[in-house]
Chains A and B, each alone.
Chain A
Amino acid sequence: MIDVLLVEPDRVLGGIYERALKDAGHTVRIAGDAQNAVQMIDERRPDVVVCELILGEHNGVEFIYELRSYADWSDIPIIILTSVSPEDVGLNAKQQASLGVVDYLYKPQASLQQIVKSIQDVADAK
């Protein structure tokens, strides 16, 4: 069981992912935007951050860079779970790895099973 911070602006989708991850035995908190996510990480450091890249006012990639700029948080694994395809983001595998992105899941194609597995991989690596 690990502590997951889900950064997901769509409340309905957030609720669905939360249910699936809780059913798999994980603790889940949801942040609706980047600002809220930073506050939540400050309150309690999560084991993994699962992050959408379309975050309203903020760009998700900027949020990831911000996270990496803090020494205490620079090693938190990040899973990108987004509606933006990797080609559109322009983040290649090397850049993802350098940012500590352990998995890139494209929402329209990522099943709950795949999402749970990706989190489990982080738990197993701990």
Chain B
Amino acid sequence: MREGSSGFVVADKNLRLLRALAAELRTPLIQIARRSELASVSKQQNQASQLRDIETTADAALRLVDSYLFSTQVLLGQQRLPLEPVSVGATLYDTAQYLRRIAKLYQCDIDINISRHAGLAMANRQGLQAALTSLAYSMINSGGEQHRIVLVASKTNQGITAGVTTTNKQMSRSSLKVARQLFGMARRPLKESQTNGAGIYVADCLFEAMNAPMKVTRRQGSAGLAAVLLPSRQLALL
């Protein structure tokens, strides 16, 4: 804990999170600023494409701000996450739809893999969407050349798994561990990838608030992070 000049007492953990979130949001803002500059001196036909890219980056940044604001409210206890039956497949589909444009700028393909039996899970739709957005955006940003991201929903014995996998080999068990450490105890940055871990941490907290701890998953040469949500009991009644 430390006391700021204004007398506020803030935890170092919160300061680190604030700093990391601000750093994550700075990247799209730099992109917007520099692309605007480029557009202003571009020929007319290039200008239209530059403006489209600016719009895409600004939209992605706004969604990220929304996700982070929502997460912060949850973390501060200002927002509850009431659980209700949610179609994980439909949430994944919507998330993939609006991430596709920003992913394209990073030459990253986004796919969805929704098992027919995924069905309804006990979750909070806004929380689930915010968690998946934070997670996927982190992976889009930290991937190398021509990587692929898959938003996955499947049914397992434990429940319904919802998460994001990537062909980026750097995503590993230690990425999640280090992201947790970053805001829990250590000061070291997330070394294995470009992301500073803030997006992973935010997703982790949101899943935790939905009683679904996030874990590392591996499938068919990809690695990722996912949470197991409890299936909706409505299914059992059908």
List chain A positions with a Cβ less than 8 A from chain B: 9-13, 16-17, 19-20, 23, 32, 54, 56-57, 83, 107-108, 111-113
A32 touching B106 in the complex, CB below 8 Å, given contacts A57-B192, A111-B37: no
B17-41 residues with Cβ-Cβ distance < 8 A to A are 23, 26-27, 29-31, 33-35, 37-38, 41
Report the bound CA distance from A111 to B33 in whole Å. Answer: 8
Q: Which residues of B contact A (CB under 8 A)?
A: 23, 26-27, 29-31, 33-35, 37-38, 41, 57, 105-107, 141-142, 144-145, 170, 191-194
B37 touches A10 (CB 8 A): no
CB nearest to B195 among chain A residues: A56
A-B contact pairs, 18 of them (CB 8 A): A10-B141, A11-B145, A13-B27, A13-B34, A16-B35, A19-B38, A32-B145, A56-B193, A57-B170, A57-B192, A83-B23, A83-B26, A83-B30, A108-B29, A108-B30, A111-B37, A112-B34, A112-B37
Interface hub of A10, A17, A20, A107 (most chain B Cβ within 10 A): A10
Closest to B41 in A: A23
| Complex-state Cα separation, A91 to B32, whole angstroms | 28
CB atoms of A112 and B38 under 8 A apart = yes
A12 and B192 within 8 A (CB): no
In angstroms, Cα B33 to Cα A11, docked, is 16
Complex CA distance for A16 and B49, rounded to whole angstroms = 13
Q: By the criterion CB–CB under 8 Å, are A57 and B27 in contact?
A: no
With A32-B145, A113-B37 known to touch, is A11 a contact of B106 (CB < 8 Å)?
yes
From B26, B142, B194, name the one whose CB has the most chain A CB atoms within 10 angstroms.
B194
Q: What residues on A are CB-neighbors of B105 within 8 Å?
A: 11-12
Q: A32-B145, A56-B191, A57-B192 are in contact. Are A13 and B38 (CB under 8 A)?
A: no
Q: Is B107 in contact with A11, judged by CB distance below 8 angstroms? A: yes
A16/B107 contact (C-beta < 8 A), A9-B194, A57-B192 known: no
Contact of A54 with B194 in the complex, beta carbons under 8 Å: yes
Q: Bound state CA distance, A16 and B42, in angstroms?
A: 12
A12 to B145, CA, bound (A): 12
A13 touches B31 (CB 8 A): yes
Interchain CA distance A108-B29 in the complex, whole Å: 8
The interface residues of chain A lying within 8 Å CB-to-CB of B27 are: 10, 13, 83
Q: Is the CB of A17 within 8 A of B191?
A: no
Asked whether, in the complex, the Cβ of A107 is within 8 Å of the Cβ of B30, the reply is yes
- Minimum C-beta distance from A111 to chain B (A): 6
Find out whether the CB atom of A57 lies under 8 angstroms from the CB atom of B34: no
* Chain B minimum-CB-distance residue to A23: B41
Contact in complex: A20, B192 (CB < 8 Å): no
Question: Which residue in chain B gives the minimum CB-CB distance to A112?
Answer: B37
A57: which B residues are within 8 A, CB to CB? 170, 191-192
Neighbouring B residues of A19 by C-beta, 8 Å: 38
